[in-house]
Amino acid sequence: MASAAKNYRDMCIAISGLHTGENPQPGVPVIWSLRQGGYEGKIVGLVYDANEAGIWAGVADEVFEIPYPSDGSEAFLSRLNYIRQSHPLKVIMPTLDSEIMAYLRLAPKLAEMGIKTFLPTEEQFKLRSKNKLSELGKLKKIRIPASLNLSDAAMVWKLADSFSFPVMIKGPFYDAYKASTPEEAEKFFHKIRAEWGLPVIVQEFLAGDEYNMVAVGDGKGGCIGSISMRKTLVTAKGKAFGGVLVEDPELNAFGRDVIKKLSWRGPLELEVLKAQRDGAYYLIEINPRFPAWVRFATEAGQNLPLAVLKLALGEKQPRLRSHRKGLFFIRHSVDVVGDISHFGELSSTGELRNISMLLNQIQSNGRDQKALRKAAH
Amino acid sequence: MKEKSNQAQLKISPEALERLKGLAISESGFLFDPITGYSYNLNSTALELIHLLQAGKDRQQMMKQMLDVYDVHVDDFDRDFEQFLGLLQEYGLLPAAAPKKKS
């Protein structure tokens, strides 16, 4: 594997999104992939809360709490400067939707600090937002289900003029509901507006199979690598809990075409639907980051997180190809155990160092006690 | 003459043959379609038929092989085989047959 040629032993990078659980974030599988690809440098986890389970799974070497993007760039930069005093970060890989814009706006400051990222441009990022998807379709000639932004509940009652029910009612960031009547559509409009704000998006409902693709764009129209899957198990929120690898040349071509037309730079997840009515693929959504199932790509032979690290560092990254077929994944939840004093330390000081050593201590203490009990018998 | 007759009975187009060859089928009858991500369980007869289809056998050859092994009447074979092809098409494992041209 070419990726193992360089071990980056003296490097220090930061990765966010360590929450795992019912709706896991991509940080843990991104770190896992980097380690799998031979990355031996230090990994700092950037977390918002001591309850992010990935902290206690011991995947990051150290973790630091950071302010939420909504707290503003000054608070974030100040925290970053503090972290840099002990950890000369070379690359940051943000993995959450809500963070990307903040990192894009801070790019010049980060560059001054010598911190690299590999993210889309602000224009690309904005164009893929849910409320612009229809515009994107027209502008770039990408097949997208008909959609309309609603700014007022009264608009729901005029939907029948241009849409046939059922329709999808979607939030600007998260959530999507299928509404079979205008009454239902109005109910979901209010629900989404209360939680996520405006606009609420109404989208033509297309019956068919949904597929997800994870890919990395090189920023020049090329695609560094991609794999696609069909969800076989979903959570109550429709998130993948299991999936199967698919290899449809038509789907691959569709995904590559989207990346090319956007000249997308960085990781992304495409949500695509193969419509029953015409057998054609339609773009449903673009998520501007790795999905939580990105480890699946690594297992299939395409270490996309490692590719992003290399691209951020300005290294050459050849096109990746899968070398394993016929794979499926099922998410496995486990309980991780920590020492409450470490939890307290992270909560009160906002940082925790040498995590693997601390977790090893807990495990060896457990083993010692077991041995003591055995000896007492 | 015989060759021509067999050709006339060849139901599987090159496109369909390519599609069938792309299916991953285990000896236990587990069929995985890598294009759609769907999987199916085949019984032993279906497994045998799909292997014959993948091998590019024409209908006549398949019928001969099945009739040699199983105690089945030609009419029953015809009906069951049509039904089987219909199922493969319904699940998208075989492209739908092109409408016959009028002579």
Residue of B15, B26, B38 for testing the chain A interface, max A β-carbons within 10 Å: B38
Chain A residue with the nearest C-alpha to that of B23? A326
Write out the residues of chain B at the interface with chain A, using a CB-CB cutoff of 8 A: 24, 32, 34-39
Q: Do A247 and B24 touch (CB under 8 A)?
A: no
Q: Do A246 and B39 touch (CB under 8 A)?
A: no
The distance of A245 to chain B (nearest Cα, Å) reads 7
Among A341, A317, A293, A351, CA closest to A23: A293
pLDDT at A319 over 80: yes
Pairing of strands A91-93, A12-16: parallel
Q: With beta carbons under 8 A apart, name residues in chain B contacting A325.
A: 24, 34
Total beta-carbon pairs less than 8 A apart between chain A and chain B? 28
Q: Do B34 and A209 touch (CB under 8 A)?
A: no
B3-37, pLDDT tens digit by residue? 444 444 556 788 889 999 999 999 999 999 999 99
How confident is the prediction for chain A on average, in pLDDT?
93
Write out the residues of chain A at the interface with chain B, using a CB-CB cutoff of 8 A: 209, 211, 229-230, 232, 243-248, 325-326
Chain B residue with the nearest C-alpha to that of A251? B35
Q: With beta carbons under 8 A apart, name residues in chain A contacting B26.
A: none
**A318: cis peptide before it, omega within 30°?**
no
Residue of B36, B40, B91 for testing the chain A interface, max A β-carbons within 10 Å: B36
**Sheet-wide strand order for A42-47:** A91-93, A12-16, A42-47, A62-65, A351-352
**Taking CA A375 as the corner, what is the angle to CA A369 and CA A377, rounded to the nearest 5 degrees?**
110
pLDDT at A139 over 70: yes
Q: Which residue among A209, A248, A326 places its CB closest to the CB of B32?
A: A326
pLDDT band at A4 (very low <50, low <70, confident <90, very high): very low
Q: Do A325 and B39 touch (CB under 8 A)?
A: no
Q: Which residue among B34, B36, B38 places its CB closest to the CB of A325?
A: B34
pLDDT at B2 over 50: no
Look up the pTM and report it.
0.89
pLDDT at B83 over 80: yes
Q: Do B38 and A230 touch (CB under 8 A)?
A: yes
Q: Residue A89: phi, psi to the nearest 5?
A: -65, 130
A7-64, pLDDT tens digit by residue? 999 999 999 999 998 889 999 999 999 999 999 999 999 999 999 999 999 999 999 9
How many Å apart are CA A211 and CA B2, to the nearest integer? 47
Give pLDDT, residue A366: 72
Q: With beta carbons under 8 A apart, name residues in chain A contacting B37.
A: 209, 211, 229-230, 232, 243-246
Q: Do A209 and B32 touch (CB under 8 A)?
A: no
How many Å apart are CA A97 and CA B63, to the nearest integer? 58
Q: With beta carbons under 8 A apart, name residues in chain A contacting B36.
A: 209, 230, 246, 248
Contacts of A268 (CB under 8 A, 6+ apart): A120, A128, A214, A215, A216, A217, A259, A286, A287, A288, A289
Averaged pLDDT, A249-268: 97
B42-61, pLDDT tens digit by residue? 999 999 999 999 999 989 99
Q: Do B36 and A326 touch (CB under 8 A)?
A: no
Give pLDDT, residue B97: 65
Give pLDDT, residue B3: 40
Q: With beta carbons under 8 A apart, name residues in chain A contacting B38.
A: 230
Q: Identify the residue with better confidence: B100 or A189.
A: A189
pLDDT at A224 over 80: yes
Averaged pLDDT, A302-319: 97
Averaged pLDDT, A118-136: 93
Q: Do A248 and B35 touch (CB under 8 A)?
A: yes
Averaged pLDDT, A260-288: 96
Averaged pLDDT, A222-243: 92
Give pLDDT, residue A5: 52
Give pLDDT, residue B9: 54
List Cα–Cα distances, B103 to B8, B98, B100, in angstroms.
14, 15, 9
Q: In the numeric block, which tokens belong to residue A154?
A: 């009264």
